[in-house]
Amino acid sequence: MRIESDIIKTVVVIAALVGTYAGVVFWPSQKQNQALADEILNKQTELEQAPRPNLEPVRGEIASLRAELRERSVVLPKGNLHDRVLHHVSDTLIQRGVTLYETSYRQTKAFKRFSMTPIDVRFETDFVNAFEIIKQIENAGPPVRIERMDIVGSEGDASGQVEVTLELSSFFERDQGGQR
């Protein structure tokens, strides 16, 4: 009898645990899942009934932006340009009256559709002339981008001389045989 009584108590405890689990965890989560499913269905219905936006103005704007991008695109020259860029920088400096300067280039970096050669330039001149030189280097010669520019002057220097250090990047279309 004792065993039958223990079996009955065990079944009652298991039934109570299962009932408690079902009432506290399972059914509330099922209700919450059903509520979320109903909300998703309602939102899908709202989305299907919502008016479609008119994309024609956006398409026109995209077309005009693409046209503007084509106009602004720079056609990169073929071949390694670091020598041409160095000549342009040197010519610009000499034309602007700077005779003491340093130029050098570093290892060319090859990317998928173009290559880039870092070029370092250092010179001294007056402040106004420095910006004219920088403008001419950036806009009048082979395609370059100024990566870094340091202009250092001295407070006590009455002449207004500044030391300019430029890190340029020269861009060109990849030349399979011209890699350094």
pLDDT digits (tens, 9 = 90+) for 77-113: 566 555 677 788 888 889 888 888 888 888 888 877 7
- pLDDT, residue 60, reads 84
Output the CATH code of domain 82-173: 3.30.70.60
Give the number of C-alpha atoms closer than 13 A to the C-alpha of residue 40, restricted to the C-beta side.
6
- pLDDT, residue 178, reads 45
Q: What is the mean pLDDT of the chain?
A: 81
Q: What is the pTM of this model?
A: 0.51
Is residue 180 within 8 A of residue 118, CB to CB? The reply is no
Delimit the domains of the chain by residue range.
Answer: 2-71, 82-173
Radius of gyration (Cα) for the chain, nearest Å? 37
For 143-167, what is each residue's pLDDT tens digit?
Answer: 788 899 998 887 777 777 889 999 9
Q: Which residues are registered as beta bridge partners of 114?
A: 173
Residue 17 predicted with pLDDT over 80: yes
